[in-house]
């Protein structure tokens, strides 16, 4: 069974987290969500201290309960086939500025595993020092990326094992593309069919 780890932080865009998570689960992918705390914070410094995550507060104030705290040692590419970095300005800042997350992005790609970034989450391609290649993001961070990457405005861009997308409105094609890469085109069609997308859309 393929497996995926989906990162989340306070300020993560809810749709960019929940839609890939739910869609991958429908495809039979084993998913784990990992809560990345802002720089300087740790589970021990929370009030009260937590051994399991409390709710992450999404970019629109919706609380989401992650499966576990993020641990670089537990998130390595020998344990998962896919690493997903959602957007949301504040959440993407926490994720993209995390040196352990940056290291994991490079490690996943070096090991031939998949990395998905959506919206401002694509900033992690820059902070991780990935080589110049096709990429997309939310327009709000385009200027930060276009000099170092072959910037595209397509809904989903696949560059080798790196998959990037634009925002909440492209979360479904992003998620279904990840399903296809992990599980095949037939599984993508099987998952998309009962979702009842309007004829002619991206499914």
The H or E element containing residue 56 is strand 56-57
3-state DSSP assignment of residue 58: coil
User: CA distances (Å), 64 to each of 14, 54, 56, 130, in order?
Assistant: 8, 9, 5, 30
Q: Of these residues, 13, 14, 107, 119, which one is catalytic? A: 119
- The answer to whether 190 is a known catalytic residue is no
CA-CA distance, 190 to 183, in Å (whole number)?
A: 11
φ and ψ of 80, to 5 deg: -135, 155
Q: Is there a catalytic annotation at residue 31?
A: no
Q: Which residue in the list 13, 14, 16, 107 is annotated as catalytic? A: 16
What are the beta bridge partners of residue 57?
63
Could you confirm whether 13 is annotated as catalytic?
no
Catalytic residue among 31, 138, 180, 183: 138
CA 59 to chain centre: 15
Active site residues: 16, 119, 138
């Amino acid at each position: 069974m393929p497996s995926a780890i989906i990162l989340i932080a306070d300020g993560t865009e809810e749709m960019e987290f929940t839609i890939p998570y739910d869609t991958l689960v429908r495809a039979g992918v084993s998913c784990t969500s990992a809560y990345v705390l802002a720089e300087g914070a740790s589970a021990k410094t929370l009030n009260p201290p937590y051994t399991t995550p409390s709710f992450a507060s999404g970019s629109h104030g919706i609380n989401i309960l992650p499966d576990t705290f993020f641990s670089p040692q537990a998130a390595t590419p020998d344990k998962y086939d896919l690493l997903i970095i959602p957007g949301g300005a504040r959440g993407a800042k926490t994720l993209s500025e995390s040196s352990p997350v940056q290291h994991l992005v490079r490690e996943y790609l070096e090991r031939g595993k998949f990395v998905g970034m959506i919206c401002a989450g694509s900033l992690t391609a820059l902070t991780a020092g990935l080589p110049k290649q096709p990429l997309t993001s939310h327009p709000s961070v385009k200027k930060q990326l276009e000099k170092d990457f072959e910037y595209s405005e397509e809904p989903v861009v696949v560059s080798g094992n790196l998959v990037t997308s634009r925002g909440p409105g492209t979360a479904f094609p992003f998620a279904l593309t990840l399903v296809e890469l992990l599980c095949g085109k037939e599984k993508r069609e099987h998952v998309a069919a009962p979702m009842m997308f309007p004829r002619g859309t991206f499914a």
